[in-house]
């Protein structure tokens, strides 16, 4: 009886005695090179995505409080005493409460993000303070209904988040994602929530506030 024909693609070489390893084995340096190449490609892809997002950012308005005049600015800071220098405009905050407030008609369709760059320290020893930032807004109807009292809906706040670890003092509120962010906004306010274990008062230094599409 004739033996069945073996396809040419099969290896008919018998392994040596005591050697059960595969006939072909990749070199370790090739495996390491492949891993490094994949890591570089992944990093490049992430960089490309970040660059694309950054390239799409369109700044609508910028207020640089290192030189912004509060007398003509639409932003109003708490208290009567404000210090301005190369770091920004500083006011004193006793505890949790409202910070900068803007009174200016804003088109919600062209405003999707609000970005605040600031620094908060304890007045006594200039040590850093843990806090949260929130954004509240009011329409003309809200203001009319409030009848001169606080016009902001406490259930309609948007928390500011640090989106870039390389910019730990820059906080962004993604207002465009809120279901009730629509129509013409009459005014808005940045509020501060100081953690309970922090001892005040506090120096709040606002460097810059930006509106982005």
Q: What percent of the chain has pLDDT over 90?
A: 69
| Listed range (51-55, 94-98, 121-125, 200-204) with the worst mean pLDDT | 51-55
pLDDT band at 35 (very low <50, low <70, confident <90, very high): low
Mean pLDDT over residues 56-68, rounded?
92
Please name the residues in contact with 15: beta carbons below 8 A apart, sequence gap of 6 or more.
21, 23
| Amino acid 45: pLDDT | 44
**Would you say 206 and 88 are in contact if contact means Cβ atoms under 8 Å apart?**
yes
| Listed range (39-43, 88-92, 114-118, 144-148) with the worst mean pLDDT | 39-43
Is the pLDDT at 37 greater than 80? The verdict is no
| Amino acid 38: pLDDT | 59
Is the pLDDT at 12 greater than 70? The verdict is no
Q: What is the pLDDT of residues 149-161, one digit of tens each?
A: 999 998 899 999 9
Domain 60-212, classified CATH 2.60.120.260, yes or no: yes
Longest CA pairwise span in the chain (Å):
108
The pLDDT mean for the chain works out to: 82
pTM of the model: 0.73
Q: Taking the domains of the chain in order of start, what are their residue ranges?
A: 21-56, 60-212
Give the number of C-alpha atoms closer than 13 A to the C-alpha of residue 24, restricted to the C-beta side.
3
Nearest to 102 by CA among 80, 58, 79, 135: 135
Q: What is the pLDDT of residues 101-113, one digit of tens each?
A: 999 999 999 999 9
| Amino acid 57: pLDDT | 79
Is the pLDDT at 54 greater than 70? The verdict is no
Neighbours of 104 (CB within 10 A): 13
Is the pLDDT at 95 greater than 70? The verdict is yes
Is the pLDDT at 19 greater than 60? The verdict is no
Distances (CA, A) of 98 to 9, 78, 91, 122, 140: 77, 7, 12, 17, 20
Mean pLDDT over residues 31-56, rounded?
49
Which comes out higher in pLDDT, residue 104 or 198? 104
């Amino acid at each position: 009886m004739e033996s069945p024909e073996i396809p040419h693609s099969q290896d008919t070489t018998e392994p040596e005695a005591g050697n059960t390893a595969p006939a072909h084995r990749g070199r370790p340096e090739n495996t390491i090179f492949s891993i490094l190449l994949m890591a570089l490609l992944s990093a490049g892809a992430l960089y490309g995505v970040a660059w694309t997002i950054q390239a799409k950012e369109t700044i609508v308005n910028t207020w640089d409080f290192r030189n912004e005049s509060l007398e003509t600015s639409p932003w109003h800071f708490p208290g009567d005493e404000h210090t301005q220098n190369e770091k920004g405009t500083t006011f004193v905050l006793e505890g949790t409460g409202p910070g900068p407030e803007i009174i200016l008609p804003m088109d919600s369709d062209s405003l999707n993000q609000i970005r605040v760059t600031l620094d908060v320290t304890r007045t006594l020893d200039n040590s850093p303070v843990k806090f949260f930032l929130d954004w509240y807004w009011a329409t003309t109807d809200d203001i009319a209904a409030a009848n001169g009292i606080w016009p902001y809906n406490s259930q309609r706040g948007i928390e500011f988040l640090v989106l870039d670890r390389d910019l730990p003092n820059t906080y962004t509120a993604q207002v465009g994602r809120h279901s009730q962010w629509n129509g013409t906004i009459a005014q808005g306010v940045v509020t501060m929530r100081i953690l309970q274990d922090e001892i005040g008062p506090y120096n709040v230094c606002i460097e810059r506030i930006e509106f982005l599409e």
